[in-house]
Amino acid sequence: MPLLTGRHMSNTRLIHGGAIVTVNQDHDVLDPGWILITNGVITDIGRGESPSALETSVDEVVSAAGCAVMPGMTNAHTHLFQSFFRGLADDRPLLDWLRECIWPAAEHITPDIAYHAARIGLLENLMSGCTSVIDHQYVHPGIDGDLIDDAVCRAADELGLRLLLAHGWADRNYHEPLVEDSATAIRRAKQTFDRWDGHEGRIKIELGPLIPWGCSDEAMVETIEAARSWGRGTHVHCAETAVEVEMSISERGLRHVPWLESVGSLASDVQLAHAVWLDDDELQSIAQADSVVVHCPVSNMYLASGVARILEMRELGITVALASDGSGSNNRQDLFEAMKMSVLLQKVHHLNAMALQPEDAIEMACAGGARAFGEPDRLGRIEVGRAADLVIVNLDHPAVAPVHRIPSALVFNCSPQQVRDVFVQGEPVIRNGFHRAVNSSEVIASAKAAAASLFQRAGIRSRLG
């Protein structure tokens, strides 16, 4: 593959020679095409060879020959602390998975452990082509709980990607060391907001009530109002499993979406993670409210939670984003895998090979993710005026070539192994598969040591210690 060539860090870059997957309304692919970046913004795009005058006037020329250039993807729902829980909780349904495997160790997480878990999780996201991540961070145990969100933000800042941290909380029916009342959740989120929101134009803070059965009506109202007063939204698990919906009906006489409506949290500033067990009326309510659904196909299969009604959602005009969910219920942070699984799951579920197309999956991962992140007009598509968050994917690879149709190759063939370069706000973060500012080996070694420390603190035997 051609190497990136350039004279110095600069404000103008030209990416040329590759297939530009625009993710615009018409799903145009410019093959070949070129992109001009000025001060982190896409200022021109063209089909064919780039003008020779551009190549001599810019500060850096990036060859994408043999590659596809796509918008940076958004992993729209994860739990970064679970980077240390990979493979620890296989073969259990959600509630058993929580009680037996997640809670016993999560209550022992410290800010330092959270930092190292976030760092390796965010590095994995970047190397997988994600330029934006929504972390539903609901672990804030003990007096150090005030510092955990700050540790996650520090990790994102060092790695150079976009982070929307949703401060998760549950004020009842939850593992006691992880319970927060609304006043504590708002105070902690606000101090993180005051320090980090808007940092470098990359970090945002909102509130993330954890699950309907863990949140009181009063606390929901208070936190939603607080987030909106900051100009931010709300991120919440919704109807992930049938058991949880039955719990809500038994206690409140309401399914999840009607309950969310009753506390004023169904609106365009709300992201609903999973949204698997919804009836027709709930789909209509979500469409009317213009809320975003975040689809986690691999996690839903891993935990045997069910199949989300993605086709019906899209037909109703509901914005759908894609996510990996936490590594404890996926074991990877891989949006290429999520794209492929989202398409295949709908095909087999509906027994219809035309049920969902590769272009649909790319739209959800990029443009849908940008909407979930709160930046629908700035991220998620390759268009003039948008931020230059871009991913260069190697198509000249034995697992991919020969390529007959580029969107198909990206969804069905490609994986993080083919991610060559990642740009955030026009600046190269990953080049030739390596992070430019952090040493991957050091990140891995530090993560392994921190994970061993966590499980020793928790008294849990694992391969790490």
Model confidence pLDDT, tens digit, residues 47-89? 999 998 888 899 999 999 999 999 999 999 999 999 998 887 6
Residue 448 falls within a domain, yes or no? no
CATH number, domain containing residue 106: 3.20.20.140
Residue 59 falls within a domain, yes or no? yes
E strand intervals along 243-363? 270-274, 292-295, 319-322
pLDDT of residue 248 exceeding 80, the answer is: yes
Nearest of 354, 343, 350, 355 to residue 410 by alpha carbon: 343
pLDDT digits (tens, 9 = 90+) for 271-324: 999 999 999 999 999 999 999 999 999 999 999 999 999 999 999 999 999 999
For 273, 287, 381, the CA distances from 134, given in Å and listed in that order, are: 11, 22, 18
Enumerate residues 6+ apart whose C-beta is below 8 A from 76. Answer: 134, 271, 292, 294, 321, 322, 323, 368, 369, 372, 373
Q: Average pLDDT for residues 1-25, to the nearest whole number?
A: 73
Report the domain count for the chain: 2
Residues 312 and 363 in one domain: yes
Residue 463 falls within a domain, yes or no? no
Q: Which stretches within 386-439 are classed as H helix?
A: 406-408
What's the pTM? 0.95
Range of the domain at 262: 73-372
* Of the candidate ranges 8-22, 62-76, 222-236, the one whose mean pLDDT is the lowest: 8-22
CATH number, domain containing residue 11: 2.30.40.10
Residues 266 and 324 in one domain: yes
Top pLDDT among 142 and 392 is at 392
Residues 148 and 242 in one domain: yes
Starting at the edge strand found earlier in the chain, the sheet holding 203-209 runs 73-78, 130-137, 162-169, 203-209, 234-238, 270-274, 292-295, 319-322
* Segment holding 132, helix H or strand E: strand 130-137
| Percent over 70 (pLDDT), the chain | 97
pLDDT of residue 244 exceeding 90, the answer is: yes
pLDDT of residue 6 exceeding 60, the answer is: no
**C-beta of residue 19 within 8 angstroms of C-beta of residue 406:** yes
Residues 81 and 47 in one domain: no
pLDDT digits (tens, 9 = 90+) for 389-435: 999 999 999 999 999 999 999 999 999 999 999 999 999 999 999 99
The whole-number pLDDT of residue 272 equals: 98
Top pLDDT among 170 and 56 is at 170
Residues 46 and 104 in one domain: no
Residues 301 and 392 in one domain: no
The DSSP code for 7 is: S
- First-to-last alpha carbon distance for the chain, in angstroms, is 41
Residues 318 and 397 in one domain: no
The whole-number pLDDT of residue 103 equals: 84
